[in-house]
Structure formats: C-alpha cells, structure tokens
Amino acid sequence: MRQKQIFECVNELGRVELDHVTPTDAEYAISNEIRERCKELVLDNSQLEKYKENLLNDIKKGLGKKTHPSSIVKCFITYVQDLPDGTEVGKFLALDLGGTNFRVLLIELNKNHFEMRSKIFAVPQHIMLGSGEQLFDHIADCLAQFMKAEKIMNEVLPLGFTFSFPLMQKGLTKGLLERWTKGFNCSGVIGNDVVQLLKDAIARRGDIKIDVCAVLNDTTGTLMSCAWKNRHCRIGLIIGTGTNACYVESRENVENMDEPDAGSGKVLINTEWGAFGDDGSLDFVRVDYDKIIDQNSVNPGKQLHEKMISGMYMGELVRLALEVFCKDGLLFGGKGSEALSTRDRFYTKYVSEIETDAPGTFTNCKEILEELGLKHATEQDCINVRYVCECVSRRAAHLASAGIATLLNKINEPRVTVGIDGSLYRYHPHFHNLMMEKISELINPGIVFDLMLSEDGSGRGAALVAAVASRKR
Ligand code: GLC
C-alpha cells in the first residue's frame, strides 16, 4: 500500500487543516543538468500575466456576437440562469458522461438534505471510438439496468444529463456537439443534439421512459452543487481527465444570447477553456513534449491548453521527459526499460504518488520505478524523477491558477468561492496549495477567494439543474 500524505483541503463539510508543506527543490540535490533541462517547464509570473491577457481576450471574443463564430474559447451559454437556493425537493435521475466512466445516479433532494444512489459503468475503448448510435445505446442500456435495479422502471422521473464535452446549447434541453475531446471520437454526433440522440436510443429500447429537463457540462454541475451550499460560488472548475471552467457572467456581456433575461441579470458561461491555445496563443509556453502529446492524440491541434494541464496527459508528459533524459544519459545510468519507452505507461496517478513521498523519502517513487522495470534506479534518480514530476504538475497548477485568476478578475466581486472537481485536483497532494498560492499572486487586490472541493459535483449538479428547471416549469 503506497503512502498517502494528507493535505489541507477545503470541502463542503468545512476546512480540514493538515500537515503538508510543499517541498521546495532546495531541499533536494537535483542534478544540475536535470534542473537546466526542466527550466522550460517552469513558468514565471510575467509569462502567466501574458497568458491571462490572452485568455481574457479569447473569452471576450467567445462572448461577442460577431467574434463568437471564429472564437477559440467558445464561452457557450448554458441557459442556466438561476442558482439553486436550497429549497429544491424531489426525486431526480442524473446521467454523467465525460471521462472513462459513465455514471447513473438517483438523487432525492429534500431542502438542505440529499440522498444519492449511483452506479458506475465503464465506457470501453471500442465505444469511445465507435458510432454515436452505439454510444447512446450503451448509455440507455446502463440507465435501464440501473432503473431496473432501483425498481423505478415504471416511473417517469426528471433527468439531468451531464454531457461533458463542448456543446453549443440552444436551450436548457438542446445541445449540439461542437467537437469531441478527452479521447472520445464517436461518429455521427458532431453537429447533432445529444439530448435527441439520447431520447432516440431510449425510444429504440422501449422499456423505460424519462423526462430530460436539462443537459449540462460537468463544470456547470460542479458550480451548481457548490452553490447549493455556498452562496459565494461563482466558478465551477474541473481538473480531471480534461480541464474546463464555467462562471457566472453578467447578462449584458453575453451578446449572442437570444433568450430574455430571466430576472437574475446573470448567466452561466461554459468557457471550454481546454481549447485555449488552439490558434497558437500558448506557443510561447508550449514545449516539445506538448507537441508530441498533441501529435499522438486522436485530436491533433485541438485542446492544447487541456493537454498541458489535465490528467489524461500529465503522466505521459512526465514519461516523455524521463525517456529523453534517460537516452541522454542523465537518468538510470542511461539504461531505460520497455515500460519507460511505452506510450501512456506512466500513469498520472504515479505523479501524485511520487509527490506524496515525504521530503527526502522515496518509497512510492522506488516502487513505481520498479514496476516500470527500472529496479536499477538510484536515490539520485529518484530525486530527479520527483523533480520532473513536480515541474510538470506545478506547470499545470500554475496554468489553471492563471485561468482562475483571469475569471476572478473578470467577475470582480469581492468574495468568490470556486467549486472544484476532478481526479487530478482531488488526488494530487499539492495541487490545492499550489493553486491557492499562485492565484493569490495573480488576482487584483481586494478580491478574496476560496477553493472548495465539490463532492460528486457533476452528478449531483445535474439533479440540481433538473430540479431548478422543473420547479420553473
Ligand atoms: C473537456 C470537455 C469539457 C469538460 C472538460 C472536463 O475539456 O471539452 O466540456 O468540461 O473536459 O471534463
């Protein structure tokens, strides 16, 4: 069992103070050459300021009527204009598709209390890369299995569909897929309404009935579930398989929304910031490893920001660096292994585990290197491997921080909570602290912020959006 170091985190239940101190590289004797070669991964604040400026420009283009069609950061309108107020009641179904797993949830809301039952189903690779019909049949099949097990086959429950890919929404229950991300590439879905595809698949079976009340992004779900508890929540962030953020924007800044203001003067915007950089605006910080990751992906040239940050790519970024350093004789005495040269064989969870080792100890690191056929690794190698992991994960945390700082400055409210979900943020031992530190350096004076871990945000949020929507109906 690998050691898990506990770290400070803020979750919906309150703040848990624990004992982690971010190790500084001064504590280690990292080889000079390794440090030198990793310099390109270390971003300073002037680079992050440039990033913020570029991102803000791109967000404005996404929101503008004329500029939206050609914009890179799409800033899709979610049609969610009301945050939950804690009075939502009822029984709801939620579907959550967005990463390697697919979840079906049954949620009962009762004022400030909720009960939830859920089941996880795998989405096999052949379905991720198959036809849209196969994908939606699989979803409908999982839903029917779940409803059967829960004995609700004959009920028609309101359903929220968390579909965590870029959707050009035409309303709360209509969303056209703009592009696939995160390794999915199902044919016949781009440009189509995913709610209709779901309904068609359910109709093909004929054994269950549902009432789709909303389709939403996981960032929206996260924001909603955080807002249910915390009235300062204005941003939802995911740092998991992919990365993306949504935020509360003033209605008047959203030029391309046709619907009238629902009264709140606000509208939730799904930035789809994973695509930031697809026009070259991040070239000033991208390195060769980023380019290799991109070339080897199913969506070359797309989601370049996401590829520098999220869990789907982080382990591979580290592996690419380690492989080069080994070839150049800087690691493992120049003797690699088959695993070290195998694409995607260095998992992102290894990065978290290696950085969980207490400063000066390398228990997890040694175990992982052994698993990778690098039994001959020395303590010096471990020091260096850990440093490479730190550089890659810090870079990700700093980029995400600059993104959040851009949104906090744009929202410009004195006190804002950011609801966060995603496996990388959740399991990396230092991501939270790195972000707290860096965001503080990058926001305008006078803004107070908080990062709140959202438990089951995307699923529970779907039920909340469905609840708010069905209440309005
Ligand atoms: C990808 C998707 C986006 C989602 C994010 C996190 O970037 O395009 O919709 O929110 O991953 O899951």
Q: Give the per-residue pLDDT at 456.
A: 79
Enumerate domains of the chain plus CATH numbers. 83-228+455-472 (3.30.420.40)
Nearest CA to 85 out of 209, 203, 276, 233 is that of 233
Q: For the CA atoms of 292, 386, 244, 74, what is the dihedral angle to 10 degrees?
A: -40
From ligand 1's centre to the CA of 97, what distance in Å? Answer: 10
Q: Give the per-residue pLDDT at 458.
A: 83
Q: Which atom of ligand 1 is nearest to the CA of 303?
A: 7
Does the annotation mark 283 as catalytic?
no
Q: Give the per-residue pLDDT at 457.
A: 83
| Ligand 1 atom 1, closest CA | 242
The 3-state secondary structure of the chain reads CCCCCCCCEEECCEEECCCCCCCCHHHCCCCHHHHHHHHHHCCCHHHHHHHHHHHHHHHHHHHCCCCHHHCCCCCEECCCCCCCCCCCEEEEEEEEECCCEEEEEEEEEECCEEEEEEEEEECCHHHHCCEHHHHHHHHHHHHHHHHHHCCCCCCCCEEEEEECCCEEEEECCEEEECCCCCCCCCECCECCEHHHHHHHHHHHHCCCCCEEEEEECHHHHHHHHHHHHCCCEEEEEEECCCEEEEEEEEHHHCCCCCCCCCCCCEEEEECCHHHCCCCCCCCCCCCHHHHHHHHCCCCCCCCHHHHHHCHHHHHHHHHHHHHHHHHCCCCHHHCCCCHHHCCCCCCHHHHHHHHHCCCCCCHHHHHHHHHCCCCCCCHHHHHHHHHHHHHHHHHHHHHHHHHHHHHHHHHCCCEEEEEEECHHHHHCCCHHHHHHHHHHHHCCCCCEEEEEECCCHHHHHHHHHHHHHHHHC
Q: Give the per-residue pLDDT at 423.
A: 94
From ligand 1's centre to the CA of 310, what distance in Å? Answer: 10
CA dihedral sign of residues 209, 212, 218, 222: negative
Does the annotation mark 218 as catalytic?
yes
From ligand 1's centre to the CA of 166, what distance in Å? Answer: 7
Q: Give the per-residue pLDDT at 5.
A: 39
Q: Choose the residue to mutate in 128, 246, 272 for probing ligand 1, maximizing ligand atoms within 8 Å of C-beta.
A: 272
| Ligand 1 atom 8, closest CA | 165
Is the minimum distance from the CB of 218 to ligand 1 under 6 angstroms? yes
Q: Give the per-residue pLDDT at 12.
A: 36
Residue from 218, 357, 381, 421 carrying the catalytic annotation = 218
Is the minimum distance from the CB of 217 to ligand 1 under 6 angstroms? yes
Which pTM value belongs to this model?
Answer: 0.92
Q: Give the per-residue pLDDT at 257.
A: 79
| Ligand 1 atom 2, closest CA | 165
Q: Choose the residue to mutate in 194, 243, 307, 426 for probing ligand 1, maximizing ligand atoms within 8 Å of C-beta.
A: 243
Task: Give the span between the Cα atoms of 249 and 64, in whole angstroms.
Answer: 13
- Ranges of residues in the chain whose predicted pLDDT is under 50: 1, 3-22, 25-26
Is the minimum distance from the CB of 461 to ligand 1 under 6 angstroms? no
From ligand 1's centre to the CA of 354, what distance in Å? Answer: 26
What Rg, from alpha-carbon coordinates, does the chain have?
22
